[in-house]
Amino acid sequence: MFFQHFGSCRFVYNWVLEQKIKTYEQDGKSVSRFTLNTMITKLKEEHEWLKDINSQSLQGATLNLENAFTKFFREKKGFPKFKSRRNPVQSFSVPQFYKMNYDNNKVKLPKIGWINTKIHRRFTGIGKTANVSRTPTGKFYISILVDDEQELPVKPIFNEKVTVGIDVGIKDFAVLSNGEKIENPKYLRHSTKSLAFLQRRLSKKQKGSKNKAKARFAVSKLHEKISNQRHDFQHTLSTKLISENQAVALETLNISGMLKNHCLAQSIVDASWSSFVNKLEYKVEWYGKTILRIGQFEPSTKICNVCGFHNGKLTLADREWKCPDCNTNHNRDINAAINIKKFALNKQNLIGI
């Protein structure tokens, strides 16, 4: 039933995307989500097997496509693509009418019934959408969005003493304005040999064989381990930084542009700065803290944090440098973190608090 829901929602998503593209090409207009939902009823007459699927899950596919188009028009990138059955991650949503049984560790979904689960935690509040997903290693998860009906904490006033500047990097994952350096664990780099071995073994297996499936599972399992290690490290670090400070200052990075440097692309992906920043952004809301951002063109690395001298000759290879004006010896990353903090606390340099 899970796989039937995955396939049916994927089918409806692709069908709706096709209708929107055709309508725009012919009439120059876009079809609304509500019109498409009414068309799904007629689609069920053509494909009887769609009647075995939760109707709200099918309508959730149109909502997902609508959100994809909204993101495309706002950010001007990532035009919605047709979904493939070969995608290792499959999912469908259940907006309502599901039930939780904490005593017996079961969840009931419409059209599917009671399912044995390992419930991560009990929750109180208003249950919203439940999302069922399958990972590349064959694990199934049910994620439930819950409104706990609690107000977010009020953000306190912050000053220089309770603010920390963070300069993310490759050699060190993060350098703080107080001089502390957080070592970069480089989980992908340390697993490169194992990953290359498993991928070579996968490429030699016969297509469609059971051994091919086993080899593919081994590759997926290692990728999942690397991802879990990275998320665990980032969650631990982000919680620590938010708990110890009232405000966090960050530099806005053009990561998509930095990835064009093929010498550093793998290291940048391995560090996953965007994922780390996302964790900081929602945790400051949880704990009532503040996040500050400075522009990506601020010369935080090349300016002396003591006298303000601009060292235009500084290169990426220079890890230490001495200010010719005040004779202060600087560590490149610590100096950048201090400047990020100073720029952020200067109101004229703030970008979206």
Active site residue ranges: 167, 251, 333
Residues 6+ apart with CB under 8 A from 246: 156, 158, 162, 163, 289, 290
> Alpha carbon of 27 to those of 20, 23, 24, 35, 205: distances in Å?
10, 6, 5, 15, 49
> Alpha carbon of 82 to those of 13, 15, 17, 228, 324: distances in Å?
8, 9, 7, 28, 58
* CB contact at 8 A, 337 and 165: yes
* CB contact at 8 A, 174 and 160: no
Angle CA(346)–CA(348)–CA(352) in degrees, nearest 5? 95
Sequential DSSP letters for 178-208? TS-EEEP--HHHHTHHHHHHHHHHHHTSPTT
End-to-end CA distance of the chain, in Å? Answer: 46
Crossing angle of helices 2-27 and 55-75, in 10° steps, is 50
